[in-house]
Structure 1
Amino acid sequence: MKRVYGSLKSMMVGENGDDSTAKCRERRRRRMAMRRIAAVSSGASGSVMGEEKPNGVAKTRGDGPVSANTAAAIMSLIMPPPPVYGVLSVIGRQREMEDHVSVRLNLCGPEINGFRPVHFFGVFDGHGGRHVSALCKEQMHVFMEEELMRVTVDGGESSGGGGDVERWRLAINRSFQRMDEMALRLCLCGAVGSSSNICRCSPKLSFMGSTAVVSVVTNEYIFVANCGDSRAVLCRNGRAIPLSVDHKPNREDERARIEGCGGRIIFSNGARVEGILAMSRAIGDRLLKQWVTSEPEISITKREVGDECLILGSDGLWDVLSSELACNIVHECLQENRSSNVEPRTETHEGGNGEGPCPSRSESAATLLVRLALGRRSTDNISVIVIDLR
């Protein structure tokens, strides 16, 4: 396993280097391996054009028999293992838990990504209640998968990453739009009505909403879509690189947009839209929808060799910790665990303890961030996802 991991790491270094010849050789090798796997898959059904295949062996035209184990080994070289991550979400000093997190490794293999897997991570911070953020946890990754799989690449070889930026943006935007439309039809009775037939079982729903910071991670790019004041930070070579900007009502461009729509920014325990909402973008918030948009701001970052980790967190973390401090803490935590040869592992489910005798590096880092936020008297729910990009 370590040898495979090392070879994958060297492949990533080669792809990010400046040697164009090496890049061409690598792409050609991958294409040939993919053709070989396709031949193996077609032969695994038992017969091709009436020719019987022995169990576990498939014939490829001109290359001789290829065993199933060989095909699996080739696939493991082409498809890198999913990233190791750690996640922790706590109620903190609030009475109700309104934060939700969502992690979907190997969400799908869309054509726009060269049919290679993409990984989904999301933090949703509800306000006015937990219902909208819970709905985001259940449905956002579903919409994202559907929209990404719907994208086709016309002619030539697919980009395998962020080459066609506009297609990625449109797919992510549509996911947020569909999520917002569903949230606006949400009812406390559990039904989701049509836009013309909205259940009025509780007027509280008109003031319910959620932030959403979502990251789609591929082997070459990091896509981050942010709507609200949750945040995404990349740690690269020990430095914090913001991948999102908080949507606060007093942000100059957000204030201009809200006032241009006829809204007002009223200062009541901080800047608030119409004196109610402390963020300028959110999913839901039916009564404020005229001024509070669900359209995300999207950043696209090409991965580099020095990328260490990606941190997603709700404002319960960022209210008391700066991006730079959080990055430094995670950097030191990952370095310390690497020097002590702690074996990494991937979480098996959200918020749970994955398999293995000891926590992963990223899980330890997430726990440390939450403990520090609590120690600094954070008054909100705290949710953190730390994705180890190495």
Structure 2
Amino acid sequence: MYSTLDGAKARAKELKRLFDDSGFHVPLHRCQTAVANAGGFQDWHDLQANLRTGSRSQDGDAYRRRLLAALPPACRGPLAEAWNPDPDAEDPPGDGIPPNFFRDVMPYVFATEVLHRTQTPLIRPGSGTGQRLRQAMVCGVLMNIHGGHQRTPTLDPETLALDYPGDIASVFRSEAKHPRFARELAVLTEAGVLEVIDDRQRGPAIRVLAPVGLPDELARQAVLDVEYAVQVNDFEADDYTEGRVTRTIHEALLALGVDDTVKVAEAIRAQHAPEYVTPSGAMLELLRGFALEGRVRAFAHGYRMFSVIHRLNATFVAAQAPAMIGHYLAAHHGVSDQAWAQWLKRHPDWGGQLRETLADPARFEGFVSTTAAALEAGESEAA
């Protein structure tokens, strides 16, 4: 948030440092544009023209909402962590690695490797002569199969591509000496899997382009990480494994772009808290708050994490979702009690259909959006 030109410049530089610390490649001019949009300006030039000789007050909540909207979804995790830092965050790795690289970029590396290895036709077994070399060139770079020193990649949050700094010989190492290397590099480049770049400012690099379905794979792996942490904690519960479950929930929610990750993790871990009349009272309170705030996707992601850890209570919590979304529709789409009652009467299966979508946040968000549009259209016709 800012009110002056100097303040806006400071916010843009802070945003650039935040993404640098994550291992994201976001140029300063892109950060300036986002900061300008978040302040209600068309672009950085518009901001400069209006603030050069004056100031403008800002609403903090509106600024954050607009900043999130002005940046790619991948940026939500680092921003959420900056706004709601985890008090139990692990120490930075050191050795020249960006402080938050393993939290913010490494999940993309793992998900990219899995998808290219299992779904990219040129890399999957049976794809013809050179398959093993092509797999080593792509998956080997991603997983550092040769070991030893390898500079960490940067993530482009717009395209989700990973840039490995260095020339062909230093990035591909022994594969670059293979007699078929040049031919297979051309094949992978033409197919949109790899790209050799030479940026004027950043120098040479090998770009691994994002495979189809990367955000979905990232979400799948985040949920698996939580499931594994829960299993370990169930087997050998102690302070460390308990803390690791909370931390893994937090990291998974960051990967999914959910705000208030600490709050969500605490609500999930507060199952059976004595201050609530129902065992899942903390989660129900959190979801009601998300609904009233209009945070539909956060609602679904919070429920999804809860259902992974507390499977036996998930059905009970899901049963409360239709009523909560009813309050959301009233608060954010002006749906009257009468219109809502008529809607439920005409669509008796709506509640069940809503509950079925809860396991898929994108589908849930779409279902709620479709419902809101239909209700608004009905209200207009009635008027």
TM-score range, shorter chain: under 0.3
Task: Name the TM-score, length of structure 1 as normaliser.
Answer: 0.22
| Larger relative contact order, structure 1 or 2 (CA cutoff 8 Å, min sep 6) | 1
Higher helix share: 2
Higher strand share: 1
Task: Name the TM-score, length of structure 2 as normaliser.
Answer: 0.22
